[in-house]
Structure 1
């Protein structure tokens, strides 16, 4: 395959040029166009590296398309895969919440284990468009998180874990009323019910969180699995992460936590929807503020796959970044953080994972997505 008249974005520059693909890899990247007859003319559209998504809850939206409705989990996975591929994501770490909690049906033990096994089955059969890995989101203040982790730890696609504590009173949910309001978005609770849930969650957190976090950290270190912290709010949270050898900080909620992460050499992941919306939907620190402070390393689409591409161009317009720097947050930086040295940039010798992007009145539109040189969307 030969692509010409494309606006190529590499790790350090952008230019109009030509890319040659051979046997699923990038064989040559050069400035200027070619008159070769069989070259595909991209008419000045962007050629960006395929996006690498480390944390997406997108499957959950398809598992529960309406409050109280649980969909067929395998059908949900197939639609999720098609959606991420059409958004330019060629490598996706499917974030599965492990650790059972009340009021959270889509993160129940049985469903998450079935999802993990079905993703593995679909990958083995070559039915998925994107390259899939598993990210186990470990809710440490639950009774069964270590047991479920152990049941999935030998899964061939397991590459990333994060330790989380969403207990009211902790990290992002330090304000109990803010937590309750979020939980009630699909229906009001009685005070009695809310108090019962709060009491149970607090009791489980006090009994299990510290020990289960230590168990998960130790297991990841033994298995060689990359580990992330989640919703670091205080400097003390980041210091704990540093002691645990954690390499990634997912969605720090404050500027202080992000600064502390940088001081400890921990890469910061922020939500692309936060960039696109101009702020956090939960009232946390703005991702654009971190970008302007030089504290943003990686973007995650979180709950909107299409947000990655839009956020890249927003970083250029709203944070003053160069396009290559912005593109790196969704390609090379996450690939590097996950130990995937074979992808994440338009460089000779790497996998031919890339996306064609047009601009429509300033809106970036993904037109074609390629994985290993084959069009998948």
Structure 2
């Protein structure tokens, strides 16, 4: 039976800003009239559920140790639980499709895709898929397209992790042995594969033009990753990639904005105060007004923490900061049914402790996805306050 509730007494973050009016939902969507029984949430804030456009933190649940892949469905359930505990109600699982092999190879990717297909329909959190397609892994593009069609993947981002400078100089890339072991290859075979893909680089641009055209024609959103400058961003835009994930320079971010493209930055970058790879600080991109959305990247707790950090740093007020993890990402991918607390939209919301910002409960499509601590007493007691 669908939950029908009216939340009262809380501070509610609506599209027009904060207010203290009641928030009701029934049948998985927000209502403009009181529904069911009332729950007193004095002392709490209610915010839109977080929409995470890019996160690979699921890997530790799917493969807690190298080769430990037998309980993939149980791992995906654990992923959903972690997402909900961090206020994420819609999550795009960013899965590599790469020559790097191991957790980044096609075999593992198809395992992840199949697990999501089996498990996601029974979970309140909306699990979706993003394919991170390596630009020079052209020999696998037919297989990648087949997987995109089979699993209904609607978002593809292009990466290039080949160490081109080293390979062009005939030098061994750093950390080669460790990366080879992760891929299941010996170091010499791994190096030979990288060298072969690098040497064939002259054929790659035309092939990318073709596969991007196929994706765009199929209605699939595409994006670039780690753009280094304006020229590179513009190349990807001409291919139809109107999303720039984690641009590495202000020049690349500005190029995306000038063209009307969306810019996604990493929430851990905001929390840390800098990129872990030494690139541009997300805070600077936000301060320049160039950031449309923040994503978890590799750490699911970071989006909510990054929103609070933006307020602490004086970059944004609390309403605009939260929009970077809710309404902003929803708009980037055209998810018009979520990201805001508004009648008729999905009842995806987070209940946070007013003083600490700690997430106390998460509802996804009107269902309890996470609840902990004293807030649970409020729901059990109905309209009685503590």
User: The TM-score by the shorter chain falls in which range?
Assistant: 0.7 to 0.9
Relative distance call for 1:345 and 1:227 in structure 2 (3 A) is same
Secondary structure of the structure 2 residue equivalent to 1:204: helix
Residue 227 (structure 1) aligned to one of 216, 222, 243: 222
Q: 1:184 to 1:247 in 2, by over 3 A?
A: same
2:13 aligns with one of 6, 9, 12: 9
Contact 1:353 1:371 in 2 (8 A): yes
Go from structure 1 to structure 2 and tell me whether the alpha carbon gap of 1:276 and 1:174 turns closer, same or farther (over 3 Å shift).
Answer: farther
Q: Does 1:153 align with 2:148?
A: yes
Matching of residue 180 in structure 1 with residue 174 in structure 2 = yes
How far the C-alpha of 1:317 sits from its partner, in A, is 1.4
Conserved? CA contact 1:98–1:148, under 8 Å: no
Distance in 2 (alpha carbons) for counterparts of 1:80 and 1:65: 12
Deviation at 1:373, TM superposition (A): 1.2
Quick check: 1:21 aligned with 2:20?
no
1:260-313 deviations in Å (ceiling 9; x for gaps): 111111111011000011111111110001111111111000111111111111
1:371 corresponds in structure 2 to 364
Give the whole-Å Cα distance in 1 for the aligned partners of 2:39 and 2:108. 44
Greater alpha carbon shift after TM alignment, 270-279 vs 90-99: 90-99
- 8 Å CA contact 2:286–2:315 kept in 1: the answer is no
User: Which aligned pairs between 1:343-362 and structure 2 lie closer than 5 A?
Assistant: 343-359=338-354, 362=356
Q: Distance in 2 between matches of 1:375 and 1:295?
A: 34
Alignment-derived partner of residue 131 in structure 2: 136
How do 1:58-137 and structure 2 match up within 5 A? 58-66=57-65, 70=69, 72-101=71-100, 104-124=101-121, 126=122, 128-137=123-132
Could you tell me how far apart the structure 2 residues matched to 1:37 and 1:221 are?
44
Distance 1:285 1:186, change over 3 A: farther
1:314 corresponds in structure 2 to: 309
Structure 1 residue 212: deviation in Å? 4.1
Question: For 1:299-346, what per-residue CA distance to the aligned partner results, in whole angstroms no more than 9, with x for missing partners?
Answer: 000111111111111111114302221111111121112121111101
Structure 2 gap segments, 5+ residues each: 371-386
**Cα deviation code 1:21-78 (max 9, x no counterpart):** 122111128xxxx9x9931111221111111111111122223334565563222212
Q: How many matched pairs?
A: 360
Aligned to 2:293: 298
How far apart are the structure 2 equivalents of 1:45 and 1:175? 58
Give SS of 2:32's match: strand
Equivalent positions of 1:266-345 (< 5 A) are 266-345=261-340
CA distance in 2, matches of 1:269, 1:201: 29
The 2-side partners of 1:314 and 1:258 are apart by: 21
Preserved CA contact (<8 Å) 2:134 2:159: yes
TM-score if structure 1 supplies the norm length?
Answer: 0.87
* SS of equivalent residue, structure 1 residue 158: coil
Q: Give SS of 1:341's match.
A: coil
The alignment's C-alpha RMSD in Å is 2.9
Q: CA deviation at 1:215?
A: 3.2
The question of whether the paired residues in 2 share the 8 Å contact of 1:358 and 1:365 is answered with: yes
Rate the CA distance shift 1:232–1:307 in 2: closer, same or farther, 3 A: same
Larger mean Cα displacement after TM superposition, 226-235 or 72-81: 72-81
**By how many angstroms is 1:132 displaced?**
1.5
SS of corresponding position for 1:315: helix
Structure 1, gaps ≥5 residues long: none
The answer to whether the 8 A contact 2:113-2:151 is kept is no
Do the aligned partners of 1:238 and 1:257 also contact (CA within 8 Å) in 2? yes
Q: 1:186 to 1:245 in 2, by over 3 A?
A: closer
Change (3 A) 1:309 1:215: same
Cα distance, 1:108 vs structure 2 = 1.8
The whole-number CA distance in structure 2 between the counterparts of 1:174 and 1:316 is 45
Secondary structure of 1:43's partner?
coil
**CA gap 1:359/1:149 in 2 versus in 1, 3 angstroms:** same
Q: State whether residues 97 and 109 of structure 2, in contact with CA within 8 Å, keep that contact through their aligned partners in structure 1.
A: yes
* Mapped pair 1:209 → 2:208: no
Q: Secondary structure at the match of 1:48?
A: strand
Contact 2:213 2:240 in 1 (8 A): no
